[in-house]
Structure 1
Amino acid sequence: MTEFYGALAVLLLLSITAGLGRILRGPTPADRMLAAQLFGTTGVTILLLLAHGLHMSALQDVALVFALLAALAAIAFVRRVWQPPAAKGGKGDH
């Protein structure tokens, strides 16, 4: 069963390399951020597969930390880049 988890981890690493192309090409910062989120999600999944396949529970803790960091990175990106639409009319336009 350990070979199965290793094969899945390699397949997920190939997914990360495809996401690397999206980060390099863009074209928008949102595309790059979504690819970075792919890295975070896939990295967490790889760590959980390895933790289960190698019976190393410490890798589960590392995966949890990575998941929290990925969520914080997404929040930081949205707060820094996203601009709310400007109000076009007076006070009564909602």
Structure 2
Amino acid sequence: MTAFYLGLTSFLLVTLAAGMWRILRGPSQADRMLAAQLFGTTAVAMLLVLAQAMEQPALRDVGLVFALLAAVTIVAFVRRAWPSAGEESGDDA
């Protein structure tokens, strides 16, 4: 069963290569950010699979921290890339 988990982790590593291509060739900043989110999601998946394969529960905790960081990153990107209507008009209400 460990070989299956390691094979699955290798497959996830290959999907990261596809994400790297999208980051390098993405037509817009949003495409690049979504590819970076793919990195975060894949890293969490890899950590969860490796935690199961190696019977290391600490890797699950690291995966959860990565998931939280990915969520914070996307919120920060959206707030920076698309300012709200009040910020565009320059009103200091």
* TM-score, normalised with respect to structure 1: 0.87
Q: Show structure 1 runs of 4+ deviating over 4 A.
A: none
Please give the per-residue CA displacement for 1:4-41, whole angstroms capped at 9, x wherever unaligned.
00000000000000000000112100000000000000
Gaps of 5+ in 1: 87-94
> 1:14 maps to what in 2?
14
CA distance in 1, matches of 2:78, 2:61: 26
Q: Name 1:37's counterpart in structure 2.
A: 37
Gaps of 5+ in 2: 87-93
Match of residue 89 from structure 2 = none
Tell me the TM-score normalised to structure 2 length: 0.88
Aligned-residue CA RMSD in angstroms? 1.3
Q: Percent identity?
A: 59
* Alpha-carbon displacement from aligned partner over 1:64-88 (angstroms, at most 9, x marks no partner): 00000000000000000014569xx
- 1:4-83 paired onto structure 2 within 5 Å: 4-83=4-83
Q: Distance in 1 between matches of 2:27 and 2:5?
A: 34
Query: Which of structures 1 and 2 has the bigger CA Rg?
Result: 1
